[in-house]
């Protein structure tokens, strides 16, 4: 077998076919590697690999068409057929030669994640999982080409048939979606779908099911190739009939084994066969969700409004895998997919909303929770192209919230204070309250004599005008009796808010007289007023504690004043180099400071020195609490995006904490899993060096070497 492997492997590179295979593969990879990784600064090669899978339609037929067909055409296959080497070893030797040829460009590609690591944070595991899938896909395609080459003595026919078989496997998923998987043709095409298992690897999932699928295809094709050769090797005549040792039993057994292995693997729970290799664990449920599922005691059915086979986009694959984890996480949860085309009245039995494909309906007894597809994902509009871009997955957050909602006996109610020109809370943070299963109602003290008894908390967001004495009394009484309040302040307010600050001071929190500017260049972003504070480790911030975790632009400084019966928790604070710019306490001055780059931030005589608390939690003996944040701008969609959603996590954690303790034990707000990972910082020199090397120089060199070798051999 070693001699056959050596002869076959060297034959690829004594001619042009091996060099052509390497050149085409690497020039295409180099092109897409330059586009995605070097130009667009994407820290994964999976996009480049996904873009060149079509290349196997061309390269595999070129490489495999001569393996058996040319020997048979030149009548030299008799040497193979009469050799003492078992046929299985002959086939395996030739296949290993093909596999090693395929391994060469893969080894070159394996270097690229380390190149990218020079320019930013790169998940090596995620990149290598994608590369493993690409290698296995190529290995399976080469096995198909090898089998076709064993069937004929015409290399052109072998190339064309190989192309057709690979092409059918390439588009079979699309064909199944068109004709449906309920019919026999659809089921057969579904078994011959090469692309769907490959996508598992490209989306960061190490799937043992997909590995078993590709390996079973390889084994099947090699056995069939061996049987074809055996038929020609041992044929005897009897009258006009040819009796061969071509074993139908062997073929049937291998086919049954292939189907059996793949069927058995598909029945194993995905938690044992699929491993999440993504940097942000898109397919893994958080410990908080697992805790909630472990305490679940009600049957809940999750209906996904889609035909499962039609969910093929990357974000839809994340949805499928996430729902699988829920089904495996609790015996009380059942996941079902509903084809609304076949059952158009299904949605109407639960809601009169118009729901898109991929929307979810969660049902438990008579209670229902609807999750529109658009709420499962976080998006934003690119200002340069005006196109909507996916920025994060909120699947776990929404589904866990719905499960908590369906399992709770009583829901919390957060009252949002109005009547003082408060700013409206942005969409992301409003949805966070929904995820906490807290209903919201408006509270206007002109209409209410006190905070309603059913209030779990009061939210005061960026009031612009001052409170009346009566308003302050109502809030004080509410907190003294155990009420809980969330406050976010706006430094650009239109009024001094003297009476409102008296309410905060009654809880022990003094508000500064101007915007805080940070003079430590490691703790601000672009402008000294755009603060990157240190987040203290507390019960609220345990998962986001540390440096550079949250963004607090245009913040007021806060000070905890010793108050009888009140305990304080500092949530975040500036460095000692920060100063309070007392001249910058209104919209005009701050707007000028933000637009005028010549303004000095050096400490002046009237400025106060830091450090400053930017968020404080004050709690009294009756479990009343006031959480105050110096910047309302931190809780806007734009600023939240700057830190990959961690400001939303801070908001969710704070609201979950200040809700009544009986609810808090059941409340969870799972943060959005953001897609906007840290992009690479690739300079122009790196683009020129690695782009030209990978996309032009190396492939061209390989082709030139191949051509030179062919010319030299012909002249000999």
**CATH code, domain carrying 440:** 3.40.50.880
pLDDT at 241: 39
Does 639 reside within a domain? yes
pLDDT at 340: 87
pLDDT at 477: 92
CA distance 314 to 202: 9
Residue 207's DSSP bridge partners are 274
Q: Is the pTM of this model over 0.85?
A: no
Domain extent for 213: 2-237+246-277+684-715
Q: CB–CB of 103/143 below 8 Å?
A: no
Does 478 reside within a domain? yes
- For residue 569, the SS3 value is strand
| Judgement on whether residues 162 and 227 belong to the same structural domain of the protein | yes
| Judgement on whether residues 390 and 328 belong to the same structural domain of the protein | yes
CA distance 427 to 122: 31
By CB neighbour count within 10 A (0-12 exposed, 13-18 middle, 19+ buried), where does 127 fall? buried
CA distance 31 to 700: 13
Q: CB–CB of 502/467 below 8 Å?
A: no
Average pLDDT, consecutive stretches of 10 residues, N- to C-terminus, the chain (716 residues): 84 85 90 86 88 92 87 70 75 92 93 87 90 95 93 90 90 74 69 86 90 94 87 51 55 85 87 85 87 88 89 86 90 91 88 89 90 86 70 87 83 89 87 83 90 91 91 92 92 81 91 86 83 90 82 90 90 90 68 64 77 92 90 89 83 87 56 69 74 78 81 72
Chain centroid to Cα 349, Å, comes to 33
| Judgement on whether residues 595 and 611 belong to the same structural domain of the protein | yes
- Give the HSE-up count for residue 664: Cα atoms under 13 Å, Cβ half-sphere: 15
Q: Which residues of 207-234 are buried (b: 16+ CB within 10 A; e: fewer)?
A: bebbbbbbbbbbebbbbbbbbbbbebbe
| Judgement on whether residues 389 and 424 belong to the same structural domain of the protein | no
Q: CB–CB of 475/457 below 8 Å?
A: no
Does 679 reside within a domain? no
Does 479 reside within a domain? yes
Structure tokens at 50: 């996904």
What radius of gyration do the chain's Cα atoms show? 33
Q: Return the closest-CA partner of residue 628 out of 561, 556, 577, 575.
A: 556
Relative to beta strand 484-488, strand 524-525 is unpaired
Conformational region of residue 438, where left means phi above 0, alpha means psi within -120 to 50, and beta covers everything else: beta
pLDDT at 137: 95
Helix axes 56-64, 124-151, angle to 10 degrees: 50
- For residue 573, the SS3 value is strand
| Judgement on whether residues 515 and 610 belong to the same structural domain of the protein | yes
| Judgement on whether residues 544 and 620 belong to the same structural domain of the protein | yes
CA distance 656 to 404: 13
Rounded to 5°, angle at Cα 420 from 415 and 421 = 100
Which CATH number do you get for residue 327?
Answer: 3.40.30.10
| Judgement on whether residues 48 and 15 belong to the same structural domain of the protein | yes
Number of domains in the chain: 3
| Judgement on whether residues 370 and 427 belong to the same structural domain of the protein | no
Per-residue 3-state assignment (H helix, E strand, C coil) for 626-674: EEEECCCHHHCHHHHHHCCCHHHHHHHHHHHHHCCHHHHCCCCCCCCEE
pLDDT at 473: 93
Give me the torsion for CA of 82, 85, 90, 96, rounded to 10°.
-150
């Amino acid at each position: 077998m070693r001699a056959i492997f050596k002869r076959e492997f060297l034959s690829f590179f004594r001619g042009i076919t091996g060099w052509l295979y390497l050149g085409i593969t690497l020039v295409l990879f180099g092109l897409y590697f330059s586009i995605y990784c070097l130009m667009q600064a994407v820290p994964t090669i999976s996009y480049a690999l996904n873009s060149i899978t079509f290349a196997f339609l061309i390269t595999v037929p070129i490489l495999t068409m001569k393996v058996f067909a040319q020997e048979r055409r030149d009548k030299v296959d008799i040497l193979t057929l009469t050799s003492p080497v078992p046929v299985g070893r002959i086939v395996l030797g030739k296949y290993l030669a093909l596999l090693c040829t395929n391994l060469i460009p893969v080894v070159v590609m394996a270097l690229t994640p380390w190149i990218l690591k020079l320019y930013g944070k790169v998940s090596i595991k995620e990149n290598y999982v994608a590369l493993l899938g690409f290698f296995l896909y190529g290995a399976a395609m080469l096995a198909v080409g090898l089998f076709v080459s064993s069937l004929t003595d015409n290399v052109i026919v072998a190339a064309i048939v190989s192309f057709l078989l690979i092409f059918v496997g390439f588009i079979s998923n699309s064909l199944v979606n068109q004709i449906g998987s309920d019919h026999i043709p659809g089921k057969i095409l579904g078994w011959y779908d090469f692309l769907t298992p490959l996508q598992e690897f490209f989306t960061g999932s190490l799937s043992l099911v997909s590995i078993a699928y590709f390996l079973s295809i390889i084994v099947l094709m090699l056995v069939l190739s061996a049987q074809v050769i055996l038929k020609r090797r041992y044929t005897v005549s009897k009258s006009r009939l040819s009796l061969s040792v071509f074993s139908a039993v062997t073929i049937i057994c291998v086919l049954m084994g292939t189907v059996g292995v793949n069927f058995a693997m598909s029945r194993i729970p995905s938690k044992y066969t699929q491993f999440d290799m993504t940097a942000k664990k898109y397919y893994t449920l958080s410990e908080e969700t697992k805790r909630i599922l472990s305490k679940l005691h009600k049957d809940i059915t999750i209906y996904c409004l889609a035909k499962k086979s039609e969910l093929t986009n990357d974000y839809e694959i994340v949805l499928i895998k996430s729902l699988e984890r829920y089904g495996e996480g609790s015996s009380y949860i059942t996941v079902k997919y509903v084809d609304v085309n076949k059952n158009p009245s299904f949605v109407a039995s639960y809601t009169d909303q118009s729901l898109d494909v991929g929307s979810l309906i969660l049902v438990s007894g008579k209670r229902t929770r609807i999750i529109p597809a658009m709420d499962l994902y976080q998006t934003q509009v690119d200002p340069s192209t005006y196109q909507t871009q996916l920025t994060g997955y909120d699947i776990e957050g929404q589904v866990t919230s719905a499960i908590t909602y369906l399992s709770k006996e009583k829901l919390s109610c957060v009252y949002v204070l109005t009547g003082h020109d408060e700013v409206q809370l942005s969409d992301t943070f409003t949805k966070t309250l929904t995820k906490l299963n807290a209903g919201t109602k408006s509270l206007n003290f002109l209409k209410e004599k006190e905070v309603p008894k059913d209030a779990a908390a009061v939210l005061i967001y960026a009031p612009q005008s001052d409170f009346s004495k009566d308003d302050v009394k109502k809030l004080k009484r509410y907190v003294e009796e155990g009420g809980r309040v969330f406050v976010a302040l706006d430094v650009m307010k239109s009024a001094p808010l003297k009476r409102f600050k008296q309410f905060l001071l009654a809880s022990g929190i003094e508000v500064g007289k101007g915007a805080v500017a940070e003079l430590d260049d490691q703790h601000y972003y672009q402008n000294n007023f755009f603060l990157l504070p240190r987040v203290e480790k507390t019960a609220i911030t345990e998962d986001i504690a540390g440096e550079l975790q949250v963004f607090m632009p245009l913040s007021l400084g806060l000070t905890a004043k010793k108050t009888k019966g009140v305990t304080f928790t500092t949530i975040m604070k500036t460095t000692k180099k920060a100063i309070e710019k007392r001249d910058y306490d209104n919209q005009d001055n701050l707007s000028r400071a933000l637009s005028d780059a010549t303004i000095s931030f050096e400490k002046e005589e009237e400025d106060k020195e830091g450090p400053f608390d930017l968020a404080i939690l004050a709690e009294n003996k009756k479990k009343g609490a006031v959480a105050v944040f110096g910047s309302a701008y931190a809780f806007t969609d734009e600023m939240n995006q700057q830190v990959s959603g961690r400001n939303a996590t801070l908001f969710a954690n704070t609201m979950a904490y200040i809700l009544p303790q009986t609810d808090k034990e059941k409340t969870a707000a799972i943060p959005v899993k953001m897609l906007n990972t840290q992009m690479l910082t690739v300079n122009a020199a790196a683009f020129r060096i690695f782009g030209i090397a990978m996309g032009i120089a190396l492939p061209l060199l390989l082709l030139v070497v191949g051509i030179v070798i062919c010319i030299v051999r012909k002249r000999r």
